[in-house]
Structure 1
Amino acid sequence: IAIGAMIDGAIVMIENMHKHIERTPLTNENRWAVVTQAAIEVGPALFFSLLIITFSFLPIFALEAQEGRLFHPLAFTKTYAMAGAAILSVTLVPVLMGYFIRGRVLPEHKNPVNRLLMGIYHPFINMVLRAPVLMIVIAFAVMASAIIPLSRMGSEFMPDLDEGDLLYMPSAFPAVSAGKMSQILQQTDKLIMTVPEVETVYAKAGRAETATDPAPLTMVETTIRLKPKEDWRPGMTTAKLKKELDSIVQVPSLTNVWIMPIKNRIDMLATGIKTPIGIKVAGPDLQVIGDVAQQIETVIKDIPGTSSVYAERVTGGRFVDVDIEREEAARFGLNVADVQDLVKTAIGGMTVTQSVEGLERYPVNVRYPREYRDSLERLENLPVVTKTGAQIPLSRLVDISISGGPGVIRSENARLNGWIYVDISDVDIGTYVKDAKKAVEQIDLPAGYSLSWSGQYEYMQRAKQRLSLVVPLTLVIILLLLFLNFRRLVPVLIIMGTLPLALVGGLWFLDMLGYNMSVAVGVGFIALAGVSVEIGVLMMVYLEHALEARIEQARAEKRDLTRSDLRAAVIEGALLRVRPIMMTVAVVIAGLLPIMLGSGTGSEVMRRIAAPMVGGMTSATVLTLLVIPAAFLIWQTLALKLPKETLGTE
């Protein structure tokens, strides 16, 4: 996104050198004097323009967590590249111009491309200068039109990345047995494999043998490897594939969630929520939390865009309680520890040894077969051998019962939690959460309980709050740099007026492409701000140089400056300098086209960075070529106090 901007300095510097050569033929004696004069004219403005592009990326460094790790490398790369370009544009480029620009230079008015540009631009600039106030009014109307795309544009944290595979993560109701869950996994795997685009399926339920995977048995993770896209059916996309899988895999008690594998891991590590949107209910009593969560689930089901919603049954777990009869155990010569070891070994199993296979170690666990312990009656009839060698049923020593309780106890910020997972389709996160919040307002929360919205919505809000603090600070820095260059406030304000014009084009282009507002789009707008300011700086510098030349001419002729002179200066500064401005815009857009037309993993994010810049540069260029000359004419007419009767015609 910085390739075009990096060579802008060299383009403008060389073009200005050509302009000087047209007026002063180059010889060995005057070569370095001409180079020096050309560099002095545009060098400071170029340096500050490229410096502004460099500083405009400061808000990206303020991003944190997931979005920060994603965009910080981009920000560092562009900042270093633009800082180097700013230094080289005023040091190395003038030296290279002196050595390599030789021979005959074709005058600008003889260049067919430039004649075409001037022929198109000339009637428009004449029309604008006849009614400059009307042009300013039109510019404000164009800026106001941004309300239309903004009203239709949704918001999201980041566009979905197509990772090439899918993860199926349904949630089941609690109290499901291991045997039943194994049967469900086999059913879902077979259903998923009926889709031709699927290559392999592997499902897992429950947790792994590690403390870092506290997943209950009701959580399923099915990794779906897809075939290469060239082997897919014609017209099939990932979104269509998700819808087809969702319609095929319909198992009672399962709430479907289809998501990208890597993205899901990152989301769960950051917030614990496996869906794009999550709602966390916090309070002191799990029973009340569960009731509130189920009320929210019922309300949210009817909101447009809801693909699936599941509220965790925080109190729906089933447990086997073993209460030891101490007196009975003592009668058979057993203490509490002996009975507990028996229960633990028979039901839970005990590691008795290790199997050593090369460098690998495998524990050997021994316990009773499943058919001996899969019901309350069979548990009670488990044989126990006493110290005297007698065999008695386990029910003689313990009282076995089944009780309810929380399957998983979640806590956050020292408060008990219950989570609701919400998957959405055909709607953006910002719009959905806005509608969902209105729907949830009808639920009366008991005192001491609270709701918080999590998942990707939490990331989106965090990035929005961060940028709302840093972006204004960056604009102040840009204003300061512009003021250091021009040393006057009015040209700074005129140039900053080009920013909204650039934003309008970016917003309309995003609306045309159907993109939502996201962090990636925000990065694109931040990059656009610096480049659009550069165009305004170039136009203002050319206009001021043309006006200074007219003032010097009037002094030489010993007469006062007239409005006709001012108008001629504006036309000269704008019309005769349209080539470097159009070249600047062309190279920036040309550098962005490979990103817009690219494909593959990550292209979804990069296109959303480039889109605001392509649309914004187009609108900023067209309007800057018209608005800045009009504003400059009004400003200088008032500043120079030119009498109205001296107005000439062109």
Structure 2
Amino acid sequence: DQAISFQAMRGKLADFVEIVKSDPAVENVVGFTGGSWRNSGSMFITLKPVRERKASADQVIARLRPKLAQEPGANLFLVPVQDIRMGGRGSSAQYQFTLQADDVAELQLWEPRVRRALSRLPEIADVNSDREDRGLQTTLVIDRPTAARLGITMRMIDQTLYNAFGQAQVSTIYSALNQYHVVMEVAPQYWQSPESLANVYVLSPTRGQVPLSGVARYEPTTAPLAVNHQGQFVATTISFNLALGVSLGEAADAIDRTMAEIGVPTTVHGSFQGTARAFRASLASQPWLILAALITVYIVLGVLYESTVHPITILSTLPSAGVGALLALMLARTEFSIIALIGVILLIGIVKKNAIIMIDFAIEAEREGGKSPEAAIFQACLLRFRPIMMTTMAAMLGAVPLAIGFGDGSEFRRPLGISIVGGLAVSQLLTLYTTPVVYLYLDRFRLWCRRPRAGRGEWPSLEGR
């Protein structure tokens, strides 16, 4: 209720505190309202350690949500504390979707439609809006002809209302060391309801005291508590949380699909803000980031081996690592977050060392020992198998604590460990077999490309290989 009073809001907050405290995973609850909070409050919840509650913060929120929805006249939206939060408006949920329009009336028309459509999506929960246009106010309608006959002006009525419901300094009390201002106001019991206007009298210069009800009447109306803007346009932010087990990418796709289905006009523009916007921007830059890393690795390896072919052999080990990381995240029911992307980028540097160990030995055997490519790569596989297994197991076992961690903050680190362990496991199984094959085929391709030069009598030297 946007027109709720402070007293009623305090009672609602106390009810919410009791509901939250009844959950066995909650250790402490602190709630407060008032001050700058016109019709809302805030609550801070401390959960018990993970080893005692056996449930994540998202699971606790999911089981509290049906209980909190039973409180009439108020809503409580729970948001887990974020390790990283990027911009956005202050809202009652974790993610924001902002609607902008040129016209306030058009925004007021489409915002409820969009909010109702998003509330029906199973991918998101706790859909709410910062639109506050149902604030309760009392409008005083003055009978101007009657007031004019009684000699009452608008200034007199305004001054009378200010004296009744405002504050005025009427005196100053001086003491030996200090002075005190005397502020006059009506006793609180006389301004708690609009009915107190019946007890207000206006001093007329011709008729003496005239009851305000004789020259005016009051009626309840609604008014916006605030009109938000973003840039130069009026805006309304719809905030939401994710349903249990749903990734942010799935929720964003569902919102885009819903906006297209309900036929929102082009004059009303919707966009993600805050963390959701940063997530979509990171998705757009991920392919370019990975491509830049691959190009950098290719250039460095090309300079190292003085070849344009053998770096491709080393880079051929990376797709299996990426597939392994994605499969591990899918099996663990973990979304591909920024932390998981960092794990994939780390795999680019970890996985290619298997191929580097083999290819470096094989090239050296060809150039220094005069061996054929088949014999060189076979000897490299035999002699480098143990170092490859040792380095891979060291890296994999080092990431296992991250993947299976259950301590405080483990939800933030777990995607990193899962992606590293999955990528190393799959790439280790595949690259031991695929790298020698790719090496031989690319070496034949290199020789085939040099046949025209050989026909002109330009045979490549052994060092060029």
Q: TM-score, normalised by structure 1?
A: 0.59
Give the Cα separation in 1 of the matches to 2:292 and 2:405: 34
Q: Is the 8 A contact 1:290 1:312 kept in 2?
A: no
Q: 1:448 to 1:570 in 2, by over 3 A?
A: closer
How far apart are 1:576 and its partner, in Å? 0.8
Residue in structure 1 matching 2:437, options 618, 627, 630: 630
Residue in structure 2 matching 1:474, options 284, 290, 293: 293
Give the Cα separation in 2 of the matches to 1:332 and 1:278: 55
**Structure-1 residue corresponding to 2:318:** 499
**Structure-2 residue corresponding to 1:415:** 233
User: Over aligned residues, Cα RMSD in angstroms?
Assistant: 3.6
Q: Is the 8 A contact 1:293 1:312 kept in 2?
A: no
Give the Cα separation in 1 of the matches to 2:59 and 2:363: 57
Q: What does the per-residue CA deviation read over 1:316-360, in whole Å, with 9 as the maximum and x for residues that have no partner?
A: 222234578899599889983x76565345435468999xxxxxx
**Structure-1 residue corresponding to 2:456:** none
- After TM superposition, the structure 1 = structure 2 runs for residues 295-334 of structure 1, keeping only pairs within 5 Å, are 295-321=113-139
Residue in structure 2 matching 1:254, options 67, 74, 97: 74
**Structure-1 residue corresponding to 2:452:** none
Give the Cα separation in 2 of the matches to 1:197 and 1:351: 52
Q: Is the 8 A contact 1:317 1:405 kept in 2?
A: yes
Give the Cα separation in 2 of the matches to 1:442 and 1:363: 63
Give the Cα separation in 1 of the matches to 2:225 and 2:319: 54
Q: What does the per-residue CA deviation read over 1:294-331, in whole Å, with 9 as the maximum and x for residues that have no partner?
A: 11222223222343323455432222345788995998
Residue in structure 1 matching 2:46, options 204, 221, 225: 225
Give the Cα separation in 2 of the matches to 1:342 and 1:463: 60
Q: 1:296 to 1:638 in 2, by over 3 A?
A: closer
- After TM superposition, the structure 1 = structure 2 runs for residues 197-276 of structure 1, keeping only pairs within 5 Å, are 197-205=25-33, 207-208=35-36, 216-217=38-39, 219-229=40-50, 232=53, 235-249=54-68, 250-261=70-81, 266=85, 270-276=88-94
Q: Is the 8 A contact 2:50 2:408 kept in 1?
A: no
**Bigger relative contact order, structure 1 or 2 (CA pairs below 8 A, ≥6 apart):** 1
Question: Match for 1:485: what amino acid?
Answer: L
- After TM superposition, the structure 1 = structure 2 runs for residues 22-101 of structure 1, keeping only pairs within 5 Å, are none
Give the Cα separation in 2 of the matches to 1:424 and 1:462: 19
Residue in structure 2 matching 1:595, options 390, 402, 425: 402
Question: Match for 2:397: what amino acid?
Answer: A
**Structure-1 residue corresponding to 2:277:** 458
Percent identity of paired positions between Structure 1 and Structure 2: 22
Q: Is the 8 A contact 1:595 1:603 kept in 2?
A: yes
Give the Cα separation in 1 of the matches to 2:188 and 2:376: 94
Look up the SS of the partner of 2:261 in the other structure: coil
**Structure-2 residue corresponding to 1:96:** none
Q: TM-score, normalised by structure 2?
A: 0.81
How far apart are 1:524 and its partner, in Å? 0.9
Q: Is the 8 A contact 1:255 1:308 kept in 2?
A: no
Q: Which runs of 5+ in 2 are unaligned?
A: 173-179, 449-465
Look up the SS of the partner of 1:577 in the other structure: helix
Q: What does the per-residue CA deviation read over 1:95-131, in whole Å, with 9 as the maximum and x for residues that have no partner?
A: xxxxxxxxxxxxxxxxxxxxxxxxxxxxxxxxxxxxx
Q: What does the per-residue CA deviation read over 1:600-646, in whole Å, with 9 as the maximum and x for residues that have no partner?
A: 333222221222122212222332222221122233345568xxxxx
Q: 1:442 to 1:314 in 2, by over 3 A?
A: farther
Give the Cα separation in 1 of the matches to 2:182 and 2:287: 58
Q: Is the 8 A contact 2:89 2:96 kept in 1?
A: no
Give the Cα separation in 1 of the matches to 2:191 and 2:67: 35
**Structure-2 residue corresponding to 1:193:** 21
**Structure-1 residue corresponding to 2:260:** 441
Give the Cα separation in 1 of the matches to 2:345 and 2:428: 17
Question: Match for 2:419: what amino acid?
Answer: P
Q: 1:330 to 1:613 in 2, by over 3 A?
A: farther
**Structure-2 residue corresponding to 1:279:** 97
Q: What does the per-residue CA deviation read over 1:65-92, in whole Å, with 9 as the maximum and x for residues that have no partner?
A: xxxxxxxxxxxxxxxxxxxxxxxxxxxx
Give the Cα separation in 1 of the matches to 2:313 and 2:181: 75
Give the Cα separation in 2 of the matches to 1:473 and 1:510: 24
Question: Match for 1:182: what amino acid?
Answer: R
**Structure-2 residue corresponding to 1:608:** 415
Q: Is the 8 A contact 2:50 2:406 kept in 1?
A: no
**Structure-2 residue corresponding to 1:524:** 343
How far apart are 1:378 and its partner, in Å? 1.0
**Structure-1 residue corresponding to 2:453:** none
**Structure-1 residue corresponding to 2:106:** 288
How far apart are 1:174 and its partner, in Å? 2.3
Give the Cα separation in 2 of the matches to 1:364 and 1:628: 89
Q: Is the 8 A contact 2:324 2:424 kept in 1?
A: yes
Q: 1:448 to 1:470 in 2, by over 3 A?
A: same
Give the Cα separation in 2 of the matches to 1:200 and 1:366: 42
How far apart are 1:440 and its partner, in Å? 2.9
Give the Cα separation in 1 of the matches to 2:162 and 2:305: 82
How far apart are 1:238 and its partner, in Å? 3.2
How far apart are 1:488 and its partner, in Å? 0.9
Q: Is the 8 A contact 2:150 2:204 kept in 1?
A: no
Q: Is the 8 A contact 1:384 1:394 kept in 2?
A: yes
Q: Which runs of 5+ in 1 are unaligned?
A: 1-172, 209-214, 355-361, 552-560, 642-650
Give the Cα separation in 1 of the matches to 2:279 and 2:122: 21
Q: Is the 8 A contact 1:379 1:394 kept in 2?
A: yes
How far apart are 1:529 and its partner, in Å? 0.9
